[in-house]
Amino acid sequence: MLARVFSCGVIGLDGVVIEVEVDSSNGQSKVLIVGLPDTAVQESRERVQSAIKNSGFTFPRKRVTINLAPADVRKEGPAYDLPIAVGILAASQQINPQKLEKTMVIGELSLDGTLRHVKGILPMAALARQEGFECLVVPKIDAEEAALIPDLDIIAASSLKELTSWLLGEVKIEAPDISSLFGERRDNYQTDFSEIKGQEHVKRALEVAAAGGHNVLLVGPPGSGKTLMARALPSIMPTMTIDEALDVTRIYSVADQLPSDIPLIQTRPFRSPHHTISHAGLVGGGNWPRPGEISLAHRGVLFLDELPEFGSRVLEVMRQPMEDKVVTISRAQGSLTFPANFQLIAAMNPCPCGFFGDPVKPCTCSLGMVSKYQKRISGPLLDRFDIHVEAPRVEYEKLTNQRLGETSAAIRDRVEAARQNQINRFLQGIDPKDETKKQSLMTNADMGVAEIRKYCKLDEAGEGLMRSAMRQLHLSARAFHRVLKLSRTIADLAGSEHIAPNHIAEALQYRPKLMLDSLN
């Protein structure tokens, strides 16, 4: 007899419906799996045989052929165990297949028939609803993640036995309650700005960065708090909307990095890859393309600590994603796209020993060494940072001061207001139907030349200041535009529609400066 069970696979970040057809016919006792299965799928026959027996059913002593369709999509992983087992039970008439018509089934089996976690549940559930399935069977441990998709009955089965009882109508399985996930306080960051002592101007620079989506480079001696402050950056970025949270969760689900107790990621990601990371690890790739660090940092922060160690290689691979905010990975079977809209923050010491320019501890490096060290970061990479800021050592008095600084929540309120000013301004200027433009122009950092001309107009006093800055500081055209964008953000933080000279003056402080300049 022939049975058919619907299941799901994931390509990139999207689900695809997979039909599991099982035919059991007379002949030599044998199990065949066809339809481009990988090793994990091939091995599923062993798990399924044991699970069926250990759940109190009999494995048919017949020739069992399992076809995974469509045949041209490669099938990966153990998630097909459960649909295969259910298909075999239906084909051997041990269960009633009636309920299976509008049900999608996903799950890995252990030998005793209990169900194990499967990655990529969120995109699979999204597909199930999109394709009009009424029920989705998932392992109990993944049920909350599946329940994020509304209008779909989630059957949270803990074992094959429980599922067959449900199929036979013997038990009811309650859908998980996830209403508490959408409560008031949704984010929880490890580092709060109030814990950072001193470094007022760095904190201000980070506030400007968060408000306008600008990339930041922190330079300073060891132990001055660069890593600490970078870690605190996500806590002052605007609270994630539910759509953003789902976006991020989908990536983590596919990358199998979703913590088991957190079905929905509501804190902005902070990714800090080590400088020895491979290209595939950074931008994504592999035989079965997986999201890389830049996609795991989507809607959050990518932190490159000890930037000179990364060298120019990073730029080479990140150039396209940083411009397009997505990364495209080409494979023989076609190309895949992962989102990669992150804010970049990097940290470095000014020289190999770390104390160049430090007022207390003398630097032990020769000038040649300092210069060589700084030159390891290529000009084009330095160019990607709108804000350059120095984090000097913190004095003892400040460090031991018991008074806490301003909290991240208070700063975040200002950042959110500034972001809203930007969005309102951009929305006025673009066609409401132009969705791509709406998506690509969210912050001041996203502005191109045309937008800068339109939105960064200066008054007479501002023009005068810019003119003298251009002359005295030898600003290039690119630097000029960068200062304008930053001034726009600073004005937005101040709630000002016009860019005033004091906004420009602050923006000029963040311009990239060659650290060796301080020698002259």
Residues near ligand ATP (CB under 6 A) are: 196-199, 220, 222-228, 347, 349, 394
Smallest separation, CB 515 to ligand ATP (Å): 14
DSSP 332-378: TTEEEEEE---EEEEEE-SSSSS-TT-SSSPP-S-HHHHHHHHHTS-
Using the contact rule CB under 5 A, the part of the chain among 110-118, 142-150, 227-235, 335-343 near Mg ion is: 227-235
Query: Which of Mg ion, ligand ATP, none does 70 bind, CB closer than 5 to 8 A by kind?
Result: none
CB nearest Mg ion: which residue?
227
- Assess contact for 114 and 159: CB atoms under 8 A: yes
Nearest residue (CB) to ligand ATP, 223 versus 380? 223
Smallest separation, CB 203 to Mg ion (Å): 17
Buried b or exposed e, range 372-400, using 16+ CB within 10 angstroms: ebbeebeeebbeebbbbbbbbbbeeeeee
Smallest separation, CB 506 to ligand ATP (Å): 21
Structure tokens at 493: 């933080």
Nearest residue (CB) to ligand ATP, 129 versus 376? 376
Smallest separation, CB 230 to ligand ATP (Å): 8
Query: Which of Mg ion, ligand ATP, none does 394 bind, CB closer than 5 to 8 A by kind?
Result: ligand ATP
Nearest residue (CB) to ligand ATP, 224 versus 489? 224
Smallest separation, CB 351 to ligand ATP (Å): 11
Using the contact rule CB under 5 A, the part of the chain among 30-38, 195-203, 213-221, 223-231 near Mg ion is: 223-231
Nearest residue (CB) to ligand ATP, 218 versus 264? 218
Nearest residue (CB) to Mg ion, 113 versus 220? 220
Smallest separation, CB 235 to Mg ion (Å): 18
Q: How many residues bind Mg ion (CB under 5 A)?
A: 1
Query: Which of Mg ion, ligand ATP, none does 389 bind, CB closer than 5 to 8 A by kind?
Result: none
Exactly one of 227, 239, 257, 337 binds Mg ion (CB under 5 A); which one?
227
Residue 519 DSSP class: G
Residues 6+ apart with CB under 8 A from 42: 33
Query: Which of ligand ATP, Mg ion, none does 271 bind, CB closer than 5 to 8 A by kind?
Result: none
- Assess contact for 301 and 234: CB atoms under 8 A: yes
- Assess contact for 157 and 182: CB atoms under 8 A: no
Nearest residue (CB) to Mg ion, 49 versus 227? 227
- Assess contact for 3 and 90: CB atoms under 8 A: yes
Distances (CA, A) of 187 to 208, 236, 241, 409: 21, 11, 11, 10
Smallest separation, CB 347 to Mg ion (Å): 6
Strands 135-139 and 115-116: unpaired
Smallest separation, CB 507 to ligand ATP (Å): 24
Residue 344 bridge partners (DSSP): 302
Nearest residue (CB) to ligand ATP, 140 versus 197? 197
Smallest separation, CB 306 to Mg ion (Å): 7
Query: Which of ligand ATP, Mg ion, none does 308 bind, CB closer than 5 to 8 A by kind?
Result: none
Q: Does 272 bind Mg ion (CB under 5 A)?
A: no
Nearest residue (CB) to ligand ATP, 7 versus 349? 349
Query: Which of ligand ATP, Mg ion, none does 250 bind, CB closer than 5 to 8 A by kind?
Result: none
Smallest separation, CB 373 to ligand ATP (Å): 13
Residue 255 DSSP class: T
Structure tokens at 388: 């350059």
Nearest residue (CB) to Mg ion, 233 versus 441? 233
Using the contact rule CB under 5 A, the part of the chain among 148-156, 220-228, 414-422, 457-465 near Mg ion is: 220-228
- Assess contact for 48 and 109: CB atoms under 8 A: yes
Distance CA 358, CA 356 (A): 6
- Assess contact for 154 and 144: CB atoms under 8 A: no
| Relative orientation angle of helices 501-509 and 460-473, to the nearest 10 degrees | 20
Query: Which of ligand ATP, Mg ion, none does 60 bind, CB closer than 5 to 8 A by kind?
Result: none
Nearest residue (CB) to ligand ATP, 227 versus 502? 227
Collapse the DSSP code of 174 into the 3-class scheme (helix H, G, I; strand E, B; otherwise coil) and give the result. coil
- Can you say whether the dihedral through the CA atoms of 36, 39, 43, 48 is positive or negative? negative
What angle (nearest 5°) sits at the alpha carbon of residue 295, between those of residues 186 and 202? 65
Nearest residue (CB) to Mg ion, 107 versus 350? 350
- Assess contact for 475 and 469: CB atoms under 8 A: yes
Q: Say if residue 466 is exposed, middle or buried (CB neighbours under 10 Å; 0-12, 13-18, 19+).
A: buried
Structure tokens at 326: 């997505």
Using the contact rule CB under 5 A, the part of the chain among 219-227, 264-272, 476-484, 497-505 near Mg ion is: 219-227
Smallest separation, CB 458 to ligand ATP (Å): 35
Smallest separation, CB 378 to ligand ATP (Å): 21
- Can you say whether the dihedral through the CA atoms of 166, 167, 169, 174 is positive or negative? positive
Nearest residue (CB) to Mg ion, 165 versus 272? 272
Query: Which of ligand ATP, Mg ion, none does 458 bind, CB closer than 5 to 8 A by kind?
Result: none
For binding to Mg ion (CB under 5 A), which residues are involved? 227
